[in-house]
Structure formats: structure tokens, C-alpha cells
Structure 1
Amino acid sequence: MTPPTPLTWLYVPGDRPRVVAKALVCGADVVIVDLEDAVAPDRKSYAREATADLLSSPHPVPVHVRVNALDGPHARQDLKAIAALPGLHGLRLPKVTSAAQVIRIAKTTVAASGGAPALYALLETALGVEHAHAIAGAHPALRGISLGESDLRADLGVRADAGLDWCRSRIVVAARAAGLPPPPQSVHPDIRDLEGLAASCTHGRTLGFLGRAAIHPRQLPIIERAYLPTEREIEEAEEIVKAATREQGAQALPDGRFIDAAVVATAHRTLSLASRR
């Protein structure tokens, strides 16, 4: 059976094992143990050791690890410590700017474990966004791309949120062109602003994103609710699929709406997501 499409990806700091343990039972679709930004320099070794201990056995919830900067002193140690462990479902690579980086990490992890774990590239700079399609198609082990909007905002000097919309669309298109799943949105940094989170998710959905990364469990139900289809969308999808089953080829519904293969495919995707409700 194909696992459900992840909608919520929860970041937790790797140097706080108790927080990680709570995250594993809080309802997130994927838990991302962060060894990079969430961990102070003098805590890197401890975070790595604690994460290796966590990944010594599998967990019911998929666990990903965001390693340290690929060009820094810690990434090699991170990969050596965790790449071959049975509890690891995916590696998240920060600040990727080229396809060559993805290929190098894929080869490194194959050498360490005999088979590359799933890789996910975070594009957090102007250069990364410019190379989005090349990165997305760099290696079969790469299973997804997404934006790191905090660093990207700083790199571009963008102040208004709308200033990132072109980059967001670029990532969505690059993922689709490379045959990857729709990317999840970047985190909403204000954990108290649930109304703003909901509005931002609604906007992200219109751009083609699917799901979102979070930094606090209270954000998870907001994200899931925003990305699950509404009752009306489910009804419309069911109507389209039924009409397509009755007749083949392009046609119009009784209310005049035109449906063809693309519309039917969208309806099937909607019903697939609806099964999570």
C-alpha cells in the first residue's frame, strides 16, 4: 500500500532528545531532526550522538535529519554517523546551490550504507533557486525540493512576503518538471500567529504547494486543515470522476463545466487527499 502523502513536516532540535520523543507522538506526518540551525555550535557533537542513538531502530513515524551545511566542518561527520542507520528515512540537505552537491552526497551515502537514503534539497539562496531544475533532476535518490525562506529572504533583501512568490512558483514548476512531488511550504516562524499561518497556507495552496514544514505542534492541525480538500471540493471531484466513468473523452457536466483528462486527474488527486480526512 502506498503511504499517504505527507502534509506536515515537524522540525525539532537534535540536541533535545525529550522534545524529539514528544514530536514522534504529536501527529506529524514526518519528524525532521535538525542538526543545523536549531543547534548551537558547541552542541553539534551531542546532537549528532543523540540523533544516532534515536535512529538505531526504526520508528512508526518517518524520521528525517537535516544535516549541517554541506561545505562546513560538520556535514561529513553527520553523514558518517547517521547515513546507514535503520531509523533514517531521509536526509535534508541545507543551502543546496548545485546539482553537483546532490550527486556528491548521494555517492557518499551509497558508500556509507550500500544504498542512498532519500535526499531532500533545501534551496535557500538566489543561486539555488536559479539552479532549481538542475538540482531537482540531479540524482534518483533526490525525492523532493523545497525553499528555506528565511535565508532566501535575507539573500534577496526581500521585505514583503509577496516578494518571494516568484521563487515559490519557480520551485513548484521545477519539482513538477523533474517528476518530483509538489514541494511543501517553508515554515511560518511565528508560532503564535495561527491566523497568519492559515492565510499563508491558503496562499501556498494556490501556488501549487502541498503541505508545510512546522516548528511547533500547534501548527500541525492548521496546516493539515488548510491542505485537505473541503467538502465542496470532494463533492465536485466525485461528480467529475463519476461523469468520466460513464463516458470517455472530453465532455461537459450538467452545469456546463468542461472536463477532460487533466480535470479528471486533478479530481483523482483530490479524492486521494480526501482519504486522509
Structure 2
Amino acid sequence: MALTWLYVPGDRPEVVRKALGAGADVVIVDLEDAVAPDRKEYARAATAELLSDPLTADPAGVPVHVRVHGEDDVRALAALPGLAGIRLPKITHAASVHHVAALAPGVGLYPLLESALAVEHAYSIAGAHPGVRGVALGEADLRADLGVRDDTGLDWPRSRVVVAARAAGLAPPVMSVFPDVRDLAGLRDSCRHGRGLGLLGRAAIHPRQLPVIEAAFRPTAREIEAAEQIVEAARTERGAQALPDGRFVDAAVLATARRTLSLAHRGDAG
């Protein structure tokens, strides 16, 4: 269960290798917005070299995704052993997902919804193909498309993509990047707000953002304690019940408690 996804520019291979040791759950090599037009071919070649020998590049085995710029990137990278996923920018229709899936069989696909049209088609995109492993918003472009002036204006699109992902049987969507790498308090508050909407985890553009994201999406000690009480009560009682403190427990509450504990203890086995 990944909580942190670190973007790095594909035309800086030395930064990509450093990012693999930064502590993110997933590293995303960006061949799109982070790379200037005259550097695209170099970025693709450098990324192909990295993904051709994943054990040498990353002995720890951190999953590497690539945000592609176009079909040429997909064709060049799809068969490489180090590629764990492809992030598809500016997807608006399910047909685009099918096209990429045919070019990259067996590779996990992560469409990014970055326009009003994409949000309207969220469920059809999320359920477009078995290769889709997750969907997320691209909030910078979406904000510009909608003319949204502050963060609360994105609440409805965020909720929409949460519902679409759930309806398609996918994991909760990851939040888009928080662009101010110095404002860690703002990042924390934004993550907490997103968590309340049902989002889980966040993309980052600097390693200093990773621990803030991790802490914001991890359950608190009080949440863990409450979840443990619910799970323990379910072992001794059947059906709906009320705990001594007045909390009502039924199957839905129990499922939520179990998800909380699963998130709290993720990685414990390692």
C-alpha cells in the first residue's frame, strides 16, 4: 500500500538514481512536464537505460513508474524489466486507455484526469481496461481548466474520482502534488483535508515532502486504538452492537476499522 510517490525529471538520471534511495514508496520518472521539448529524446533514452537493468539501478527494488509524453515513450519503455507502471497524462476517454494497453500488455496503467471532460468520464476511464491499476487527478491543469481559485474548488472533482475508483474496484486515488516545497505546514493541512475526502497518499516533487505526506495519511494513535477496540469486540460478538462508550458497530464500521489497522501496520512484515 503506497503512500508516497516521488516525481523526478527523466532528463536527470543522476537525480533519478538518488530519488530511488529517498524513501518514497514509488518513484515516478517524468518525461512530460518536467522535461523541456529539446530534452525529450535524451530523457527517454536515459530512462530506457535505467529500466533495462533495474537491479543495478536500484538494488532495493523501489517500483519505478514513468509519466510518458506520448506513444513513442510507451513503445520504447513498455517491455523493459524495470518498468512497474505507466502514468498517462491528459486522458479524457476510455479509448485512449485501450490504445496504450495494447502497446504495453501486462504493465499497470495509471490515467491522470486533468480536465473537466476527463472528470465527467472518470468511471469509464477507471474501468476501461483490466490493466488500469489506479486513477488520479492532475490538479494543476484541472485547476486552470476550471478556473478554480483555491483548493476547496477541487473538492468535488476529488470526491468524483474517489467514487469512480471505488466503483471500478481500484485503490483510493493518490493526491496530486503540492507545489510549494517549503510550505510543509500547508502540505500537511492539505493532505489531511484530502484524507477526509477519501484520497490516500500523495505525489511529491521533493524528498522533504515525503515524511509529511506519510505522517498525514497514517492513522493517529487514537484512531488505531479505536479500530483495535472495534475489531476485538467483533471477535466476541455477532451482529450489530454498541460499545460501552456508545459507538455503534456493524459490518461497515468493522471493515473501516480493519482498513485502518492495515494502513497503520503496512510494512511491518519487512
Please give the range of the TM-score, normalised by the shorter of the 2 chains.
over 0.9
Distance 2:20 2:104 in 1: 25
Paired letter, 1:6: A
How far the C-alpha of 1:188 sits from its partner, in A, is: 0.1
- What CA RMSD, in Å, does the superposition of the two structures yield over aligned residues? 0.8
Q: Give the conservation status (yes or no) of the 8 Å contact 2:90–2:115.
A: yes
- The aligned residue for residue 203 of structure 2 is 213
Deviation readout 1:143-184 (Å, 9 max, x if unpaired): 000000000000111112111111110000100011100001
Q: 2:100 is matched with which residue?
A: 105
Deviations 1:30-87 (A, max 9, x none): 000000000000000000000000001234100000001xxxxxx1211111000000
- TM-score by structure 2 length? 0.96
Q: Residue 186 of structure 2 corresponds to which residue in structure 1?
A: 196
1:137 matched to 2:123? The reply is no
Which residue number corresponds to residue 77 of structure 1? 72
Identity %: 71
Query: Match for 1:184 among 174, 194, 199?
Result: 174
Structure 2: distance between partners of 1:57 and 1:230: 39
Distance in structure 2 (CA, Å) of the matches to 1:203 and 1:240: 25
1:103 and 1:247 mapped to 2: Cα distance?
47
**TM-score, scaled to structure 1:** 0.93
Match of 2:64 in 1: 63
Helix, strand or coil: the match of 1:234? Answer: helix
Aligned residue runs from structure 1 range 140-155, under 5 A:
140-155=130-145
Give the aligned residue type for 1:17. P
Aligned partner of 1:17 among 13, 18, 24: 13
Tell me which residue corresponds to 2:249.
259
Describe the SS at the equivalent of 2:41.
helix
Q: 2:225 and 2:154 mapped to 1: Cα distance?
A: 33
Residue in structure 1 matched with residue 214 of structure 2 by the alignment: 224
Q: Which ranges of 4 or more aligned residues in structure 1 deviate by more than 2 Å? A: none
CA contact (8 A) 2:135 2:173 kept: yes
Number of aligned positions between the proteins: 262
- The equivalent position to 1:159 in structure 2, one of 131, 149, 163, is 149
Give 2:231's aligned amino acid. Answer: V
Q: Shift of the alpha carbon at 1:248?
A: 1.2
In structure 1, C-alpha distance between the alignment counterparts of 2:175 and 2:128, rounded to whole Å: 21
